[in-house]
Structure 1
Amino acid sequence: MGERGRIEMEPSDLNCRDLPPILSSFVDAFVDFSVSGLFFSKPNPNPNPNPSAPPATRLPAPGRLVSIGDLHGDLPKALQALSLAGLTDPATTRWTGGGTVAVQVGDVLDRGGDELRLVYLLHSLKLQAAAAGGALHTIHGNHEIMNISGDFRYATPAGLDEFHRWAVWYRAGLAMKRLCPGVEPPPDPFKGIPKSFPGVRKEFWEGIRARFAALRPDGPIARRFLAGNQTVLLVGDSVFVHGGLLQNHIQYGLEKINEEVRDWIMGLKGRISPVFVRGRDSVVWLRRFSEGLNCDCRQLEGVLELIPGARRVVMGHTIQDQGINGVCEDRAIRIDVGLSKGCSDGLPEVLEINGGGELRILTSNPLYARRVVEEEKKGLALLVPDTRMKEVEVKA
């Protein structure tokens, strides 16, 4: 201590010896906020005491369970759906769902320009939900699998621009970490990615490079935000999957499918996606139980019989112009209402399953009663028939 109480330091003390953990955390928070406007106090929303362990495939039935369909890069419409479900305050986007368990059935990516902001928001809500005694689970859709595989055919110019902006901030974070010799910067995710893409307009090149870097197996966005997703999830007596399930999927093992997809996204299984998320009959592409009115109910029953305790399958993937509906005596529930402006700009609807197993549709559509009557005339096995309209909640 020098005169007048000044603290004197030797030049050798002015180094990065004590800075690495603080600096690294600060840089990560700086990049997160620059990209999304959000800060994260915890790195992992999984309340499991071993956060590196894979999340469970089977969970007990909660008092309240809700499910939201495909979001496709539309942040405003996603916020409407979350608010409709009672999960967020529309003014603050903070979790208000308490102990509610929510499942979003995939396809957050593509067709819109808010993909990263949606990914960050859902991550933030997972943290808040876990702290409140609830949970938010996101599962893989075919568009997550496509993007991790490098298939960007449904990316929009606005979506490419969003990833380009992420790349600018991510590279700034890498540069900041390199200022301190004690900080170990992560591997450069842009290494090995071409700088030009013949046949693609030049103004999109940087966005494509950034998308490859962020989402390829072991990419920073894929590893941090997508690897923890499940591909199939059983909550109580409801099975959630993006496309659908066949008997060979069950026989192979739902836990095994989840594990293989997770390892692939973490960069442990090469670049090619696992077989059960590839092709028209895979769990993320199947439309056998979600397309049209002629569902093979006998085949669906055979699938459910192989899953102990399962009563229904809840699916996204195929847009339901008539809104959320059920077939096969509500053993197959289809919840993709095409809410994104990049799809059919449908009105948000949410499926609710209470502790007694009763099903409700939460909707903002004031014409719902007429919709029910018209669909009943078509012979559709309605989730909520006209005689049970009290189980349809219409919110302004």
Structure 2
Amino acid sequence: MLRLILTLLLSFPAILFAYSGEPDDNSKADTDGPHVFYRGNKISVKYVLRRDTGVIAKTLHFSDKKGVSLTCQVPETGDSFSFLLHDSSPNAEESTTYPTPGRLLALSDIEGDFLALKTMLIGAKVMDKHFNWTFGDGHLVLLGDYFDRGLHVTECLWLLYKLEAEAEIAGGKVHFLLGNHEILNLQGNSSYVRQKYLENAVLIGEEYKNWYSQNTELGRWLRSKNAVEKIGDYVFCHGGISPELARTQLGLAEINRISRQHLGKPDEQIVNEDARAIFDLKTGIFWYRGAAKNLASKDEITAVLQYAGAKRMVIGHTLQPDLTALYEGRVLCIDLYHEENMRQGVMKTLWLEEGYCYSLNSKGEKSSVFSISFPRKTE
């Protein structure tokens, strides 16, 4: 009987993944970090490192974040990169609206696939092979779901954190928008988290639910991020703006303000009516699939865009076989099968430049598939 109980306990993560629609998870504790925790006036930086004899935990201590340089390693790809901790306040907030940039790359639902992220960003010349920003005043828009399923979530987050600071210096911008999997992890919900991270949490002595709390660097960084942004004539968000959310008449900046106030709260603790509309598991901005599945009417999409003051909406969240323009080109769906595309040797995503929308692949090749729908403005 004892053996049966132990077997069931040890197999629980695999059962959990099967239940949540994930393949069996055989991952184990492995290289990870840094994870930056704030304890009063002290900073603890924790790593999991791979050694010949197995994996070990390592902790560094600092009294001040100023000038602290940390290194992130990715043994599977042979990569590493270093970065400085940001000087910004933990209460910093992003703007909601931005003017049209000359160039914009939008990428969604990487889900911890560091190789896919690296491949696309280098191919699009957003960064070089040393992980340095090379996109000048261009804008990089990330439509959420960089967590879960993959085995390099930490590395993806720190790379984007690093590029964000470098983009600002160069006059560019990294827009990291929250998706439903960011929301789940900020809530401490590990339903889709790989076993690697749960074992790493034991190794470093920090419960996984605390990895992205307000007492961590990545937790503070994520809490500064928006649910929705309007860039030029385009509105960007993870799931989409539903007709139900639009009917609340909440401004986009209000959606961001209210969502930030409730980040990390379990669903049952979100009682504010406006917040419930934003976080709703069916029609909320992080979860909505109606537009991507062509379930909304044309009139409803027209009303949504009028509400947002935009001509087009760009969304992720719902997988598509290719970059897809719906509703006469007014809704662009960019959540693709990145893992399968990588196996076939090429990634692709959305590129905006000089009034045109393109499909851009990781070889830097542009397709005019979208420019047919959206001709250059003549005025």
User: TM-score scaled by structure 2?
Assistant: 0.70
Q: What is residue 146 of structure 2 aligned with on the other side? A: 108
Aligned mates of 1:233, 1:140 — CA distance in 2: 11
Conserved in 2, the CA contact under 8 Å of 1:116 and 1:162? no
Aligned mates of 2:351, 2:72 — CA distance in 1: 35
Aligned mates of 1:271, 1:223 — CA distance in 2: 19
- Quote the offset at 1:260 in angstroms: 1.9
Residue aligned with 2:301, SS:
helix
State the identity as a percent. 26
- Quote the offset at 1:358 in angstroms: 1.3
Question: Deviations for 1:247-278, whole angstroms, at most 9, x for unmatched residues?
Answer: 443412221221122223378x9965942123
- Quote the offset at 1:28 in angstroms: 8.8
Residue aligned with 1:40, SS:
strand
Runs of 5+ in structure 2 lacking a partner? 1-40, 44-60, 75-79
Instruction: Return the match for 1:229 from 225, 230, 233.
Output: 225
Is the alpha carbon distance of 1:341 and 1:109 closer, same or farther for their aligned partners in structure 2, counting shifts above 3 Å? farther
- Quote the offset at 1:365 in angstroms: 8.3
Q: What is residue 362 of structure 1 aligned with on the other side? A: 360
Q: What is residue 133 of structure 1 aligned with on the other side? A: 171
Conserved in 2, the CA contact under 8 Å of 1:107 and 1:141? yes
- Quote the offset at 1:384 in angstroms: 5.2
Instruction: Return the match for 1:146 from 175, 184, 187.
Output: 184
Conserved in 2, the CA contact under 8 Å of 1:324 and 1:361? yes
Is the alpha carbon distance of 1:86 and 1:365 closer, same or farther for their aligned partners in structure 2, counting shifts above 3 Å? closer
Is the alpha carbon distance of 1:303 and 1:144 closer, same or farther for their aligned partners in structure 2, counting shifts above 3 Å? same
Which structure has the bigger radius of gyration? 1
Q: What is residue 290 of structure 2 aligned with on the other side? A: 288
Alignment of 1:1-396 (within 5 A): 23-25=62-64, 29=68, 32-33=70-71, 38-41=81-84, 43-44=86-87, 52-89=91-128, 91-161=129-199, 163=201, 168=204, 209=207, 211-216=208-213, 218-250=214-246, 251-265=249-263, 272=270, 274-275=275-276, 276-291=278-293, 296-308=297-309, 310-321=310-321, 323-340=322-339, 347-355=346-354, 357-364=355-362, 383=370
- Quote the offset at 1:236 in angstroms: 0.6
- Quote the offset at 1:38 in angstroms: 4.5
| Count, aligned residues | 307
Is the alpha carbon distance of 1:106 and 1:339 closer, same or farther for their aligned partners in structure 2, counting shifts above 3 Å? same
What CA RMSD, in Å, does the superposition of the two structures yield over aligned residues? 3.7
Aligned mates of 1:68, 1:243 — CA distance in 2: 13
User: TM-score scaled by structure 1?
Assistant: 0.67
Conserved in 1, the CA contact under 8 Å of 2:109 and 2:143? yes
Aligned mates of 1:53, 1:62 — CA distance in 2: 23
Q: What is residue 201 of structure 1 aligned with on the other side? A: none
Letter in 2 for 1:72: E
Question: Deviations for 1:135-159, whole angstroms, at most 9, x for unmatched residues?
Answer: 1111001111111122221111234
- Quote the offset at 1:93 in angstroms: 1.2
Aligned mates of 2:324, 2:156 — CA distance in 1: 26
Question: Deviations for 1:182-228, whole angstroms, at most 9, x for unmatched residues?
Answer: xxxxxxxx5xxxxxxxxxxxxxxxxxx2x201124x24155332112
Conserved in 2, the CA contact under 8 Å of 1:113 and 1:162? no
Is the alpha carbon distance of 1:270 and 1:99 closer, same or farther for their aligned partners in structure 2, counting shifts above 3 Å? farther
Q: What is residue 196 of structure 1 aligned with on the other side? A: none
Structure ranking higher in helix proportion = 1
Residue aligned with 2:116, SS:
helix
Runs of 5+ in structure 1 lacking a partner? 1-18, 172-189, 191-208, 373-381, 389-396
Is the alpha carbon distance of 1:71 and 1:345 closer, same or farther for their aligned partners in structure 2, counting shifts above 3 Å? farther
Aligned mates of 1:305, 1:110 — CA distance in 2: 34
Letter in 1 for 2:109: D
Letter in 2 for 1:92: H
Letter in 2 for 1:383: F
Letter in 1 for 2:68: A
Residue aligned with 2:220, SS:
helix
Conserved in 2, the CA contact under 8 Å of 1:226 and 1:265? no
